[in-house]
Amino acid sequence: MKIFYMPKSVIQDYAKQKIPEVKEVISMTKGYIHSIETCGTVDGPGLRYVIFLQGCPMRCQYCHNPDTWEPGKGDEMTVEEVLKSFYHNTAFYKTGGVTVTGGEPMMQMDFLIELFTELHEGGYHTCIDTS
């Protein structure tokens, strides 16, 4: 089976063409979020909205976030829920953007792709901090 990832706007346009009564396609992909830092200054250029995802298999000896190691913990949130406070404060992120770190962000690939697709559609800068 092949899986294709498309921007939400493409999916919405397709759904409206095939099923005219569809008004909007709502995402249900959820990620496990350890925490969110709204004013990060060291995780990429400019002021950053930093999302710490839960879960990491690496167990690095000098890890700064060992509390993010255990997968399946944290707050289970949709992309829309995670970005709610980001969109409320976009004026602060004009020269910055969004950084996803962890834990290991690549462990939640579906969530990460949906998150970055949403941000790129809006023209926002993104970074991934991964092992």
Condensed to tens digits (0 to 9), the pLDDT of residues 83-109 reads 999 999 999 999 999 999 999 999 999
Is the pLDDT assigned to residue 2 strictly greater than 50?
no
**b (16+ CB within 10 A) / e for 41-78:** eebbeebbbbbbbbbbeeeeeeeeeeebbebeebeebb
Looking at the DSSP bridge assignments, the partners of residue 49 are: 98
Is the pLDDT assigned to residue 5 strictly greater than 90?
no
30: tokens are 């959820």
- Quote the percentage of the chain above a pLDDT of 70: 79
Give the residue, 21 or 58, on which the prediction is more confident: 58
Enter the pTM of the model.
0.80
